[in-house]
Structure formats: C-alpha cells, structure tokens
Amino acid sequence: MNSHTENDPCCGGQSRRSFLKRSTATAAILAAPPVLVRAAEKKLDEQGAEYFEKLPLKIEVNGKPFSLSVEPRVTLLDLLREQLHLTGTKKGCDYGQCGACTVHVDGQRVLSCLSLAGMQDGKKITTIEGLASGDDLHPLQEAFIRHDGFQCGYCTPGQIMSAVACIKEGHAGSDAEIREYMSGNICRCGAYPNIVDAIREVAQKGGVK
Amino acid sequence: MDNFFDLNIPFAEIDRVDGKAKVTGKADYVAEHDLPNLTYGVLVGSTIANGTVTAIDTKSAERAPGVLAVITHLNAPKVPGYEEGENPAKGRTGGGGLKIFNDNRIRFNGQPIALVVADTFERATYAASLIKAQYNKEAPHTSLADAIKNDKPIEGDNYKEAVRGEKDAWKTAPVKVEGTYIMPIQVHNPMELHATIARWDGDDKVTVWEKTQGVVSTQQSIANAFKLEQKNVQVYAPYVGGGFGSALRTWPHAIAAVMAAKKLGRPVKLVLTRPQMFMLVGYRPEAIQHISIGATPDGKIVGMRHDAYAVTSNYENFNEGLVAQTKQLYACANLATKYNIYPMNLSTPTWMRGPGEATGSFPLECALDELSYALNLDPIELRKRNYAETDPENGKPYSSKFLREAYDLGAEKFGWKGRKPQPRSMEEDGWLVGYGMSSGMFGAFRGEGRVRLKFSGDGMLTIQSAVSDSGPGTATAMTRIASDAMGLPVNKVNFELGNSAFPPGPTQGGSSTTSTLGTTVSMACDSLKKKLVELLKTQESEIALADVQFAQGEMRLKNGKSISYTDALKAANLPSIELTESSGRNPEMQKYSAYSYSVHFVRVKVHPLTGVVRIDKVVSAGDAGRIISEKTAASQMKGGAVGGIGGALMEEGVIDHRYGRWVNNNFADYHVPVHADVPDVEVVFVNKPDPVLNPNGSKGMGEIALIGFAAAVANAVYHATGKRIRELPITPDKVLL
Ligand code: FES
Ligand code: FES
C-alpha cells in the first residue's frame, strides 16, 4: 500500500526529489548542472526534474519501430498499455506474480510489469496483437478457441504468449512438463485443463511458427 | 408455460462467440478505454484498522509533477446521495455501504483516505506515496475466534434459531458425529483488477466504464449516489475479466472516480492495485461452524444441528446461506440451525462463488463422510439413504431433481468402485492415496429480463440486453438458444451486451443468467417467428404458426413450399423486423422447489513424510438441467473445481489481529491454484431438462461447480491418512501434526 504514516520506516517521508534538492545544495553542487541547481533554489525542482528525467527509447513492437521518450520508472507493461494503446497485454498484479503481462522480448517470454521500458532500447517486442498474421490466427490461438482455454479471457494473452515460448523452449513434452512451465500464468477462471489440452495439441503437431 | 422446443434434443456444441476477440487481445476490458484528456487516479489506504484520521498532509503530493487533485475527507465534493439516511448500512445510496471520503472515521485497514489524480499513472502513483496521515488509533477487532468468546453476535430475524421437528433429536440417536470446522477468509481475486473510468458529459450526465456483473445495478447505484436520472448514467462493461461475485456491487472506489471526474472536469481512470483487491471489493467471510448429526445404525439421519459464526463489517450486515444446505440436502425431520455474524474492523464481505452454501457445505459434507465411516457404509450409499424426495422444509415437490443420477454417473466415470473402504489402505509410489466425494446444491432461479431483437434484410439476427459476462459465456449461450430457435447458423446471430442503453438485463449472479435471459431470448424468437409468419399471410392464406417449420433460415410450409426469412422481408418491403420482449418469473414455480446439484469426486495423493497433498484426479457431475452450451458449461464446472482446489488446499486470507492488517494481500503470499496444482478435470452432466423453471429446461451451474468441493478434498485426505482435518486450507503442517 502506498500510504505512509509519520513513522513509516520505508521512506521516512522523504521524497526522492527533496533528496535531490538537498544534495544539490551541498556536496553534489559541483556535479549538478547549474540549471538544475537554480531550479532547485527557486523550488522549481519538480518541473526541472521532469525535463531531465526522460529517456530516449527506440524499440520495435510487433514489427513496427517506435522512437519514444519515457520516464525511467515507466514499465514496459504501462508503456504498451497506456502509451502505445496495445492493451492486449494485461495487468493482473503489477508485481510479477501472475503472468498476465507476458510478452516476448527478443523471442524470450518476459513479464512486462517487471521490465522497465527504458531498458528495452534496441529490443524487439512481440505482444498478443502481433501473434496472428492478419486474419490467420496462430495455431495456439486457434487451439485455445477450439479447446475453450479461457472463460473471462483476461489471462489469455499472457497464457498464449507463455505457451508459444513454452513449446519453443522444448518444455511441452508431457502434460506434467507443460503444467510446470506454465505455472507462472494464473487463470482464476480455472481454464487450466483446457489450456493444457490446447498446448499439448499444438506441441504434438509441432505447430509453432 | 409452454415449452417452445423439444427439450430432449441436445444443443450442438459451439465455440465461444467472443473467443477470437479474447485470443487476439482485441477484447477491451474496462481499463482499456482511451479517452481524450484522460487522468489517472490512485487510492491511498489507511494503515490502521480502527480509529480516526487526525491530520493528513497532502502538500508534497499536490506539488509533485503532473498532480491535478488530491481528494480527502477534508475537501471531497459532497456526494448528494450520501446525505440520505444516517446509516450507510441501509444501502440506500450507491457506494457499496461505505461512504467514501465522507468523514475521518477509519473502519478497516486499507480504507481509502485519499485519491490522487495526475496526468500519468506513474505520477499519480508516486504522488500517492507522499501522502502522510496521522491517526488516533483504537484497538482493532478482526479475530472471529475472539469475537465469539467475548462479544454478542448481531441480533435480528436472520439470526434467530430455526427449528424443524425436535430440536435435540440428534443427541439421543444411536450413532453420532460432531465437529467444529474453520474456513478462513477467501478472496475472489479475478484476474482483471477492478477498474472504473468516469467521464461527465455536462452537469447531469455521466458515462462510466465499470467492471461490473450488473450493468443496470451499477447504473442505478451511481444515479442514486449522484442524484441523477437513471437514463443519464451510461454504463459500459463490454468485457469483464472475471468476478466470482466481487463485481456484484458498485464499490466505493467507483464512486470516488465519478466524484473526482466531476471535480476535475476531466475523465478519471481508477484501477485498484492487487493488494487493494483484497481490501476494497469484498471477500468470502471467515466462518467457524459447529455441526452435529445423529443417525440410526442403518444410516437414517435422525437429527442435525448446525451453528455458524461468520464475520461482517462494522457498517453493514452481510448475510448468506451458511446453513441453507443443511436444511435442504437430506431428508431429516429434526433439525436446528443458527446463523450468527459479528461486526469487525473489516470491509464488508460479499458473495463469492457458491456464496454461503460453499462455506456451509464444508462441515455438512465432512460430517456425512465421518458418519459413513462410523456406520461402515459407503458415503454415496449413506447419502442415498437420506435422499430428499421432496423439499424437507416445506414438502414441495422439486421442479426436477436428478441428484441420484449425478451420484451414479460421477461414480462410474471416476471409478469409485476402486476405493478400498478402510482409511489409509491405499498407496502408490510411496504416496498415500485417498478417494473422497461430496455433494452440493444451489437454488435454481429465474428473474426478469428484457431484450431488443432485430432481424435485418441481410439475414443477421441481433439481440441486445444490458447484461454483462464475467466469463461463463452468456453471449455464447444466448447465441446458441437463438440460433437453435430460429434455425439460423451461429454466425448469423449476434448477441450484444455490456451497455446500459440496451434493455435492462439481469445481474450476472446466483447462477441465474441463462435461466432468466434464455427465457427472454426464447420468447423474443417466438415473437419473431409470429411476425415472419404474418408476412406470409399476404401471399398464402390461413397459415398457422404450428404448421411452419423454421430451419436453415427459411420457413417450410405444409404444402411443400419454402421461403427464406430474408425473402419474406423483401416481399413485404421491410428492411428489418424489430421487437422488444420481456420475461419474468414463472408463477407455476410457486408449487415447486428448484435446485441444481453437483457431486464432486476427488482422488488425492498425500506424501506421508512431508504432508504434501496433491489432487490427482477430479470428476464433477452436475444436474444443471438441460445443457445449453456444452463446451462453456464444462469449462464452468472445471473452473469451479479449480476454485475448489484453491479453497481446499491453499487459499487463506491472513490478518494480523494485533494491528488488523492484511499480511498476505498479494499473489505471492495468498496462493491460488496454478497449472501445476490442477490435474485433468472431468465433467459429466445428467443433461435432463427441468420441465418447469424455464422454456429451455436449464438450471444454474456457476455455484454448484464449487459448492461442496472442499469437503470432497478433506474427505479424500481422511481416506488417505485416517486424519480428519476440519480447518481449511489443508496445508502440510495440518496433515503432519
Ligand atoms: S501483471 Fe505482470 S505478472 Fe502480474
Ligand atoms: S480466463 Fe479468466 S482468468 Fe483465465
């Protein structure tokens, strides 16, 4: 939770920026850009910080290049959802505990809520929106429909992105192996048996693009 | 009511109609709507569970970049509906009981004390971390065990002792079992975080995207809270990422979002965090229950007593049917039940899948199992010997009851014969093996529904209703019904939902949506057929509806002629036929009692050294009437079993009673089943129509899928180990000790 009482041990009520302000006034004064020092003195530190705190970022998402400028604290998940409006990737926890936000970064499955956007410079990202080619669904997307591998559908993009990787990694040799290597993706609707059916079928056909 | 169709013809299986949207990422859940000028709200929760806020410092947050507003009880705009009625428990206003930012009183840990709104999510989150509050703390009360010892339960009609026959009959029976059973708080935790987007369109109109199981009830709640005309509140809920009950109410955070959007004159998006999902949108209340059963040596139950104690908040009484199943499931002339609730420094609980029955079935079905061992009787045989042929409460016949068939079908599929009766007698690869079963029941209902139907010249049939679908597949079931009724291919039927501008549909809860709305859709199709036949009358004289066959998009007449629906429209010069239809309860039903039933079979493996319990095999058998959509119905049953595995083996909301604070409000600490916890789950339906409840012969399914499941696991663990575990979840420490 975000609330802090007066005796909260974690932050002591001191903000990152008030720390910046204090440090500009003392030892760090020589290292800090003069404009920032002046800004801090005029209590414009927050706005000044805003200017300096954006990172340039070049990434490719689903084959499309993007040239962006992001705050360092923006996660890949929020970048996708809030700035690029690719909302197929879901937020189920924001703490790396549920798998709903699974995407591929350079072909590897990754939890986008635990990945800072700024660290993806030069990387190729694939999201659920980039899996089908036009109207041709990926074999796993088709298998999920056929086996009813979902109910509400909220965990589904993460399940499918994970499943594609699970097969590619060679971790779909048996039901037990599929279950083990898919255990990072929670489905609260409980579609697990059907998801395993879908993955097994595609894995056995060797059908991953 | 007449049945429109031959109820014995099964429905053909279809894929989920929104499947493609769901596998491609196109399904748009609440938080995914982009609006111009959108702002982001983040809630700050109290760090105490009981007391008052004495000071709140919002200055640093207000100065942080991008922050547009900080709302607290000190500056919150008035919610006009909050003025009415002194007690929010009366539920007269929308906000779900707790009047958010209305005063400085803290009633539970995590209660919102501030809402920070900024231009980005990150800035709002950061600024929220700068809010500092000071409190006057009072001792928190969150322990049910302490409350039972020290306090008096809430009084009222709901909490009076109910007696049937002789109250103490169980005491003098020759064979007796007794036990106290504990079930901790469980939390719905749908995968989609609860979210609201609110946008005011002028002073008296608001548009809300809301995660809700009840589009119309959300519309009413917001209209009541802000004193708006109901039609001036537009609610959208096109996709709902699970609910299991958590989205049955309009919670305070939704009111906060609407309030903030008004104050700012800009749309506000407010998404709860996962930890907030444990504290602000309800949970299954902790319950301690004592049950006693007395029987004859040949297994006839003579008498029962069931006392249930559960928690509620200190601002609303939350009631559910903990003792309902005990009153209903078995023929037993003598019975006493008492339901008690205690007000706590907790937020208000809410119905969670299988609501009270899921809680109450745990002691009941474990006690039946215990009794079967005491009598040396097969647990299924014991249940059959006490089979209720009529409603034990009022003697009414059942509209349909195929529980006996469900016992047999399930036992057959599961291989129940393979069970050796003695506990701790089966082993495999060094693991103890146990078989367990239980049964569950839940009322079968039908409420009021309304739909708009349009059949267009291009052959498309569109049906609209203001319902939402949190996952079971409402649009799929309705499509199935309409396509079947009209003899149209599935891809020519389009069922639209999630929009309050559509005719009012029911709230998706209590396993009643398919029964309720399926009736309306059937009736609407029947009206459409009548209109189509009327069109023919200009060409052919004297055609009775009964003489026309509706198949493959055409009307087939007795004289061998046929005409397609679209040609009939063309000939009559009509672009389309539109109609609205409504349906309600079936008055016939007053003569009957109506329930759905489930029987769960579980095979467990218990590791004797570590106490680890693995679920090895599951069969769930259901009497849910005629099955409308086989595939989605099976998924719903499987989902219930998975939820049941969670409740039986891992789910436990832990609160530190010294501070009244949540200890494990996240998925790393509150465990839910993952792939590796769940074996293949097999489902079998009796699939026989209920001839009275509704024209489609369906009954409900969402609740029975889970009700009783925890007991089946506990019973299997007993069979494997000889140890009766009466406290959930069944974790290794309890198995070992
Ligand atoms: S949202 Fe990333 S793991 Fe849950
Ligand atoms: S389909 Fe609803 S959470 Fe998986």
- pLDDT tens digits for B87-110? 444 443 334 589 999 999 999 999
- The pLDDT value recorded for residue B737 is 72
Q: With an 8 Å Cβ cutoff, are B24 and A182 in contact?
A: no
- In angstroms, the CA B105 to CA B112 distance is 11
Is position B703 annotated as part of the catalytic site? yes
Residue among B122, B666, B674 whose CB faces A183 most closely: B674
User: Does ligand 2 have an atom closer than 6 angstroms to the CB of A160?
Assistant: no
From the CA of B29, which ligand is nearest? 2
Which residue ranges make up each domain of chain B? 19-26+447-584, 33-138+191-242+247-280, 287-445+590-736
Q: Is A110 in the pocket of ligand 1 (CB under 6 A)?
A: no
Burial state string for B349-362 with b = 16 or more CB within 10 A and e = fewer than 16: bbbbbbbbbbbbbb
Taking CB atoms and an 8 Å cut-off, how many pairs form between chains A and B? 231
What's the average model confidence in pLDDT over A39-66? 75
Question: What are the helix (H) ranges across B497-618?
Answer: 513-536, 565-571
Contact A195, A139 (CB under 8 A): no
Residue among B188, B189, B191, B636 whose CB has most ligand 2 atoms within 8 A, to mutate? B191
Q: Do B704 and B597 meet the contact criterion of CB atoms below 8 Å apart?
A: yes
Distance CA B96, CA B714 (A): 35
Residue B471 backbone class (left: φ over 0; alpha: ψ -120 to 50; beta: rest): left
The ligand with the least distance to the CA atom of A184 is 1
Confidence at residue B545, expressed as pLDDT on a 0 to 100 scale: 85
Atom of ligand 2 at shortest range from CA of B192: 3
Expressed in angstroms and rounded, the spacing between residue B186 Cα and the centre of ligand 1 is 21
B472 contacts A148? CB cut-off 8 A: no
Q: Of all helices (H) and strands (E), which one includes residue B53?
A: strand B51-57
Neighbours of A116 (CB within 10 A): 16
Say if the Cβ atoms of A92 and B128 lie within 8 Å. Answer: no
**Phi/psi at A89 (nearest 5 deg)?**
-80, 130
Name the residue type at position B531. K
State the burial class of residue A47 (Cβ atoms within 10 Å of its Cβ: 0-12, 13-18, 19+): exposed
CB B482 within 8 A of CB B11: no
Are A11 and B129 within 8 A, CB to CB?
Answer: yes
- Chain A residues whose CB is inside 8 A of the B19 CB are 144-145, 148, 150
Looking at residue A47, its pLDDT comes to 55
- Which DSSP helix (H) or strand (E) runs through B57? strand B51-57
Q: Does an H or E element contain B655, and which?
A: strand B655-656
Q: Which ligand is nearest to the CA of B191?
A: 2
φ, ψ at B94 (rounded to 5°): -70, -45
Stretches in chain B below the pLDDT threshold 50: 1-5, 86-95
Structure tokens at B734: 């309890």
- Determine how β-strand B595-606 pairs with β-strand B613-623: antiparallel
User: pLDDT grade, residue A5 (50/70/90)?
Assistant: very low
Inter-chain contact B20–A137, Cβ cutoff 8 Å?
yes
Contacts of A206 (CB under 8 A, 6+ apart): none
Whole-angstrom Cα distance, residue B119 to residue B380?
61
| Partners of B603 in beta bridges | B435, B617
Q: In this structure, which ligand is nearest to the CA of B16?
A: 2
DSSP B31-62: GG---TT-EEEEEEE-S-SSEEEEEEE-HHHH
Distance CA B326, CA B362 (A): 10
* CATH among 3.40.50.300, 3.30.365.10, 3.40.50.10190, 2.30.30.90 for B287-445+590-736: 3.30.365.10
Reading the block at residue B74, the tokens are 């000190």
Residue in B436, B349, B399, B381 with CA at minimum distance from that of residue B588: B399
Is pLDDT larger for residue B575 or for residue A46?
Answer: B575
Of B13, B20, B24, B212, which to mutate for an interface test with A (greatest number of A Cβ within 10 Å)? Answer: B24
Mutate to test the interface with A, among B54, B675, B709 (most CBs of A within 10 A): B675
pLDDT confidence of residue B510: 83
A115 touches chain B (CB under 8 A): no
Q: Which residues pair with B360 in a beta bridge?
A: none
* Region of residue A111 (phi > 0: left; psi between -120 and 50: alpha; otherwise: beta): beta
Residue burial B692-711, b: 16+ Cβ < 10 Å; e: rest: bbbbbbbbbbbbbbbbbbbb
The answer to whether B470 and B243 have CB atoms below 8 angstroms apart is yes
Q: Give me the interface pTM, i.e. the ipTM.
A: 0.96
Chain A within 8 Å of B29 (Cβ-Cβ)? yes
Q: Judge whether residue A206 has pLDDT over 90.
A: no
- Put simply, the answer to whether B15 touches A175 (Cβ < 8 Å) is no
Question: Which two structure tokens, joined as six digits, stand for B696?
Answer: 């489609």
> β-strands B268-271, B287-295: how paired?
unpaired
CB B275 within 8 A of CB A184: no
Return the residue matching tokens 């004064």.
Answer: A29
Helix (H) or strand (E) segment spanning residue B293: strand B287-295
Three-class SS state of B547: helix
CA of B157 to the centre of ligand 2 (A): 39
What is the pLDDT averaged over residues A92-109? 98
Cα–Cα dist B184/B728, whole Å: 7
Best of B23, B137, B193, B274 to substitute, by most chain A Cβ atoms within 10 angstroms, is B23
> How high is the pLDDT of residue B83?
80
CA distances B421 to A199, B76, B372, Å, are 38, 65, 10
For the Cβ of A190 lying below 6 angstroms from any atom of ligand 2, the answer is: no
Please identify, in words, the CATH class of the domain defined by B19-26+447-584: alpha beta
Residue B729: asked if its preceding bond is cis (omega within 30°), the reply is yes
Closest ligand to C-alpha of residue A151 is: 2
A94 Cβ closer than 6 Å to some ligand 1 atom: yes
Residue with structure tokens 């899948």?
B353
CB contacts under 8 A, A 49-68 vs B, are 49-50
Tell me the nearest-neighbour CA distance from A45 into chain B, angstroms. 10
Portion 56-95 of B in contact with A at CB < 8 A? 60, 63-66
Exposure of B299 in the CB half-sphere (CA atoms within 13 A): 20
Q: Is the pLDDT of residue A1 over 60?
A: no
Alpha helices in B447-536 (DSSP H): 474-486, 513-536
Q: Hey, which CATH number is domain B33-138+191-242+247-280, 3.40.50.12280, 3.90.1640.30, 3.40.630.30, 3.90.1170.50?
A: 3.90.1170.50
Tell me, yes or no, if B36 comes closer than 8 A to chain A by beta carbon. no
- Cα B151 to the center of its chain, rounded Å: 31
- Residue B325 parent element (H or E): helix B324-328
Interface subset of A 125-184, CB within 8 angstroms of B: 127-129, 131-132, 137, 141, 144-146, 148, 150-157, 160, 175, 178-180, 182-184
Half-sphere exposure of B91 (CA within 13 A, CB side): 9
| Cα separation, B722 vs B724, whole angstroms | 7
Q: Is the minimum CB–CB distance between B160 and chain A shorter than 8 Å?
A: no
Our measurement of the distance from residue B522's CA atom to the centroid of its chain's CA atoms, rounded to an integer in Å, reads: 24
Confidence of residue A20 (pLDDT cuts 50, 70, 90): very low
Burial class of residue B566 (count of CB atoms within 10 Å of its CB; 0-12, 13-18, 19+)? middle
The pair of structure tokens assigned to B155 is 């009084």
Q: How far is A84 from chain B (nearest CA, A)?
A: 11
Quick check: B473 and A151 CB within 8 A?
yes
Which of B24, B126, B239 lies at the smallest CB-CB distance from A141?
Answer: B24
B positions 311-330 inside 8 Å of A (CB): none
Report pLDDT for B130: 98
Which of these is catalytic: B192, B286, B357, B703?
Answer: B703
CA of A99 to the centre of ligand 1 (A): 5
Residues β-bridged to residue A57: A68
Six-digit token pair at B201? 């369109």
Q: Hey, what are A47's tokens?
A: 């706005």
Identify whether the C-beta of residue B109 lies closer than 8 Å to the C-beta of residue B303: no
- Quick one: tokens of B521? 């859709």
How are beta strands B554-556 and B562-564 bridged, if at all? antiparallel
- pTM above the 0.90 mark? yes
Token pair for B569: 């429209």
Dihedral-angle region of residue A76 (phi above 0 means left; psi in -120 to 50 means alpha; beta otherwise) = alpha
Point out the residue among A1, A90, A91 whose CB comes nearest to the CB of B110: A1
Beta carbons of A148 and A189 less than 8 angstroms apart:
no
Give the distance from residue A14's alpha carbon to the nearest chain B alpha carbon, in angstroms: 8
Domains in chain A with CATH codes: 12-46 (no CATH), 55-130 (3.10.20.30), 139-204 (1.10.150.120)
Closest residue of chain A to B137, computed from CA coordinates: A5
DSSP string, A6-48: TT-TTTTT--HHHHHHHHHHTGGGTTS-HHHHHHHHTT-HHHH
Same fold, B19-26+447-584 and B287-445+590-736: yes
Q: What is the pLDDT of residue B181?
A: 98
Distance from B241 to chain A by nearest Cα, in Å? 5
Is ligand 2 within 6 A of the CB of residue A59?
Answer: no
**Secondary structure (3-state) at A124:** strand
pLDDT digits (tens, 9 = 90+) for B671-697: 999 999 999 999 999 999 999 999 999
Judge: B635–A148 Cβ closer than 8 Å, yes or no.
Answer: yes
Token pair for residue B185?
């708080």
Q: What is the CA radius of gyration of chain A?
A: 22
The answer for residues whose C-beta is within 8 angstroms of residue B262's C-beta and 6 or more apart is: B77, B200, B206, B226
* Residue A5 at interface with chain B, using a CB cutoff of 8 Å: yes
DSSP B76: P
Task: Pull the structure tokens for residue B52.
Answer: 């008052």
Is the CB of residue A91 below 6 angstroms from any atom belonging to ligand 1? yes
Residue B59: both structure tokens together: 């200055």
* B309 membership: H or E segment, kind and range: strand B301-313
